[in-house]
Amino acid sequence: MSKVNYRFRNLNSISDIVQTMIDGLEREWVTINMGSFGSTYHSKEIKPKKFLGITYKKGIPAKRKCFGCAATNFLCELMQKPFDSSLVHFRSKRQEIFNYGITLKELENFEYAIDYLRKGLLDNFLIALNKIPLNFELPTYSEIYKDLPYLGTENWKENIGEYKKYIKWLREKGL
């Protein structure tokens, strides 16, 4: 594993990670679609067939809407900016933008860790985090276990309060 990535330097506890996930979701850096680590939707509006001197057979979409899950919004929260819609599809592009020392495999593990967290799968969350260099020693599963709801595309706003309570509980335990 590489040394701690500078973008992870402010993550000093499990509660910091959960808080950053919540902050990213609530800020909604990219439109939330929990089924995607990053994708785009092309609007129906089409630009002219000739654009900037290039001729397109069917025209090109006028707008792209960027989508992402809790992990994508988490990374955006750490960067304090959204991913560009033309780059969000590809983990290697997300890694280039997010980089400063993180490997592609570490990014993959981190995205999976956040995805497990939003599903309430805390054992898998810890397993994935264990593969990433962090500023702190990970607690055990028994130290962090709580029954958390699944955060899906349609229900995350109504269930996020349980994760806020979870943060408070973790902080009371010094985690």
The pLDDT value recorded for residue 31 is 72
Amino acid type, 121: L
What pTM was estimated for this model as a whole?
0.77
The secondary structure element, H or E, covering residue 78 is helix 70-79
Task: Count other C-beta atoms under 10 Å from residue 81's C-beta.
Answer: 11
User: Which SS3 state, helix, strand or coil, does residue 134 take?
Assistant: coil
∠167-168-169 over CA atoms, to 5°?
90
R_g of the chain computed on alpha carbons: 18
The pLDDT value recorded for residue 44 is 46
Q: Are strands 64-68 and 54-55 parallel, antiparallel or unpaired?
A: unpaired
Question: Tens place of pLDDT for every residue, the chain, 175 residues?
Answer: 445 455 566 789 999 999 999 999 998 877 777 765 454 444 444 444 444 444 444 444 444 445 567 888 888 888 787 876 666 665 666 666 665 567 778 878 888 999 999 999 999 999 999 998 888 899 999 999 999 999 988 899 999 999 999 999 999 999 9
**Is 67:36 a contact under the CB 8 Å cutoff?**
yes
The pLDDT value recorded for residue 165 is 97
Q: Determine whether 58 is exposed, middle or buried from the number of CB atoms within 10 Å of its CB (0-12, 13-18, 19+).
A: exposed
Q: Spell out the residues 6+ positions from residue 86 whose beta carbon is closer than 8 angstroms to its own.
A: 40, 64
Distance CA 143, CA 124 (A): 14
